[in-house]
Chains A and B, each alone.
Chain A
Amino acid sequence: MKRWARAGSGVALVASLAMAAPAAADEIVIGGAICLTGVQAPLDEPGFKGAQLAVKAINDAGGLLGKQVRFINVDGKSDPVTVGNAAVEVIRQGAELIIAPCDFDFGGPASREAQAAGIVGVSMCASDPLYSSWTLGDKQFTLSMWNTTMGATAAEFAFNEKGWKTAYVVTDQFIAYTKSLSKYFVEHFKALGGEVLLEDIYTNGDNDFSAQLARLQALGQRPDVIFISSYGTDIAMIVRAIREVGIDSPVLGGDSYDDPGLWEAMGPKFGSEVYFVTHSWMGSEAHPDMARFLELYQEMYGAPPETAFVATGWDTVMMLAKAVEVAGTTDGDAVAEALRTTEFDLLTGKLDYRSVEEGHMPDKAAVMVQLTEGKPAFLGWRTPTNPPAP
């Protein structure tokens, strides 16, 4: 009897699974496992807003392949296992394309589930080169430049453009992103002929830079540039600590600096001669379509975007839509092929994916931004000549 009951519940489960895939024939479902809570939320939430906006724009313009697009997201809660489950859930609800969180550790599980289901998955802004077809499969991509590009762009800006020959490098041991960004900066900076005076270590959350500062002061010479790869409020703390004691060497960093909250925290007093590489710039000088994007954003959310990261979500959806149009279907293999063969002109720069064998490496342009008295200025697009191999 018990066995029958179990079999019965098994049947019921299968039935409910079958019934819970209600993707109507006249719509295309995009599924997200984007993290709206937890440590990943600062990176994912802006992209989520951008993605919602893009879906609305596509539907207002008549949809995709004659169908309406529906975007469903299950909060990944900044937990790799939950992200994987969220991806499974949205796929069960009929998602044919997956949007993954902005980081290899948190986004990888969503892409693995997408790959297992035979559909395309794209991370909005994971920049570690681990986010590749090598590790995740032939239908998985990241919209972001890799840290190879980000690090190399920073190095070329420092050495070639500014003529800075010596560097002091701080690496936060927080996540794969903070570690690999420093690694590629150092590699490329040395390859160009620069000298790294000291590579120092910082632990995220310490909120204390005194020992590192003592070593920096004991170097005997001022470095031409200080490269800091960190994350969150710690960036503001480190920059303030360095500037407070009167060291005014230029500070250089990656896309984690792209946050008005941090610029304000550095303020008019300490927020000068700070440069960073990021994905885009929220102004019409960055891209001809930017003005329209900003207008739509203002209309939907009633305020201008907080950070350029909103463009990553918009671009992910728009790029997927373009690829589906090229492929004429949402079939995983066809869309992946379209992504590899099409060149995209996005708000976050021109993008061309390499082959499966080359890891789906994104050939992508980066934006340089300069802070002066805590106010950002767009320096332009940069593409490194030969970024280091991952």
Chain B
Amino acid sequence: MTAFLQFVVDVLALGGAYALMALGLVIVYGILRLVNFAYGELIMVTGYTLFLLGGSPLPWILMAAVAVLMAVLTGIVTDHVAFRPVRTKSVTAVLITSFAFSTLLQNAALLLISPRPRSVPLPDIFSETVRLGGVVTPVRNLITIATAVVLLALFALLMKRSVLGLAMRAAAANFTMARMLGVPANLVITSAFAISGLLAGIVALLWLGRSASVAPGIGLEPLLVAFIATVIGGMRSLEGAVIGGFLLAFIDTSLNHLLPQDLLKFRDAFTFTAVILILLWRPEGLIRGPAAGRRT
């Protein structure tokens, strides 16, 4: 029973982080039909901002707020630098500019700070554990689960109840039509990037909180996770991204628990087999998005 409870907490903590990562990626994809390959660097930027603020006397929560703000700004800059100038021209161009922007940010960190890992400040509560029904678990895991629940709820509220949310959903359903009806394209897209940055920034605090360190290549895994989760859940659906995130965490954690050591080496092969099976069954992912509209 305790083992099962432990498993549930582990899956939910990992899944919460995965779901937020996936949501941040899919919100931009939903509107632009373009994957932001510089997404992982939002997490890196958050980490390095924390590192740079590390020596300062600021309380941690303020450092974290600044770091998340930097991720939001970087998200907006990504739009202005990599997407806006070329997004109406060709998909290939945007693919390349977003890769280029990702490389640029990574190498900037590498040259200006160091290729070696740097430690980030954490609040004491991130290093503490609680006993929960016989299970000793880091408080950080519970914070991750709570953060995911709160953010997902807020996000759902924003999308369903606010004018901006309505505009974004309209843009995701049919961008051209939305524009004709007076939805300002640039504002909606920039907002999507800002929200993407916000989600990435907050998830970065939790994700980097596990290792208490940041390195130039730290964003690769979150990007990959977000990408796979959205593919499973449905590239066009926000709910799909969240479900995909939790499902991927469930698959990964189960395999980590169940596979014998000899096979554990090949865990990723099993994960991707599961992903392929899901896609064979539901080629568009688990949840279908709105009827396909045209890209800008």
Interface segment among A82-90, A196-204, A219-227, A358-366: the answer is A196-204
| 29 intermolecular pairs with C-beta atoms under 8 Å apart | A42-B116, A42-B215, A45-B116, A201-B265, A205-B220, A207-B207, A207-B211, A208-B14, A208-B252, A208-B253, A210-B10, A210-B253, A211-B10, A211-B253, A211-B257, A233-B211, A234-B211, A236-B211, A236-B212, A237-B210, A240-B211, A244-B127, A261-B114, A261-B117, A262-B213, A265-B213, A267-B119, A270-B127, A307-B116
Question: Whole-angstrom distance from the CB of A370 to the nearest CB of chain B?
Answer: 19
A389 contacts the other chain (CB 8 A): no
Q: Which of these, A236, A237, A245, A261, contacts B116 with CB under 8 Å?
A: A261
Residues on B with beta carbons closer than 8 Å to the beta carbon of A266: 212
Band of interface residues on A: 35 or more
Instruction: Tell me the nearest residue of chain B to A198, going by C-beta.
Output: B261
Q: Which of A206, A233, A244, A306 contacts B138 (CB 8 A)?
A: A244
A214: CB under 8 A from chain B? yes
B215 A240 Cβ-Cβ under 8 A? no
**Which residue on chain A has the smallest CB distance to residue B214?**
A233
Q: A261-B119, A261-B213 are in contact. Are A207 and B221 (CB under 8 A)?
A: yes
CA of A173 to CA of B269, assembled, Å:
13
A210 and B211 contacting across the interface, CB-CB below 8 Å: no
Q: Does A372 contact B (CB under 8 A)?
A: no
B184 sits at the interface (CB 8 A): no
Report how many A-B pairs have Cβ atoms within 8 Å.
122
A39 within 8 Å of B (CB atoms): yes
Is B256 positioned at the interface, with any CB of A under 8 Å from its CB? Answer: yes
Chain A residues with CB under 8 A of B216: 41
A39 / chain B contacts, CB cutoff of 8 Å:
217
Q: Contact flags (1/0) for B105-142 with A, using CB distance below 8 Å? A: 00100100011111110000001010000001110000
Chain A residue contacts of B13, Cβ below 8 A = 210
Q: Is the CB of A269 within 8 A of B127?
A: yes
| Contact flag A232-B265 (CB < 8 Å), given A39-B217, A212-B256, A240-B211 | no
Within 8 A of B (CB), among A249-278: 259, 261-262, 264-267, 269-270
Interface status of B3 (Cβ within 8 A of chain A): yes
Q: Which of A203, A232, A269 contacts B268 (CB 8 A)?
A: A203
Question: Is B211 a contact of A306 with CB atoms below 8 Å?
Answer: no
Residue in A214, A233, A240, A264 whose beta carbon sits within 8 Å of that of B6 in the complex: A214
Chain A residues with Cβ under 8 A from B288's Cβ?
Answer: none
Closest chain A residue to B258, Cβ basis: A211
Chain A residues within 8 Å of B136, by CB: 245-246
Asked if A210 and B256 sit within 8 Å, CB to CB, the answer is yes
CB pair A246–B127 under 8 Å, yes or no, is no
Contact residues, B1-44 vs A (CB, 8 A)? 3, 6-7, 10, 13-14
B267 and A203: CB pair below 8 A? yes
- Shortest 5 CB-CB contacts between residues of A and residues of B: A211-B256, A237-B211, A41-B115, A264-B119, A210-B10
Q: Which residues of A have CB within 8 Å of B137?
A: 245
- Please report the C-alpha to C-alpha distance between residue A326 and residue B120 in the assembled complex, in whole angstroms: 48
- Docked pose: A207 CA to B107 CA in angstroms: 22
Chain B residues in 8 Å Cβ range of A306:
114, 116
A36 cross-chain contacts in B, Cβ below 8 A: 115
Minimal beta-carbon separation of B261 from chain A (angstroms): 6
Task: Given the known inter-chain contacts A42-B117, A208-B14, A306-B114, please indicate yes or no for A233 contacting B265, CB distance below 8 A.
Answer: no
Chain A neighbourhood of B116, CB < 8 A: 42, 45-46, 259, 261, 306-307
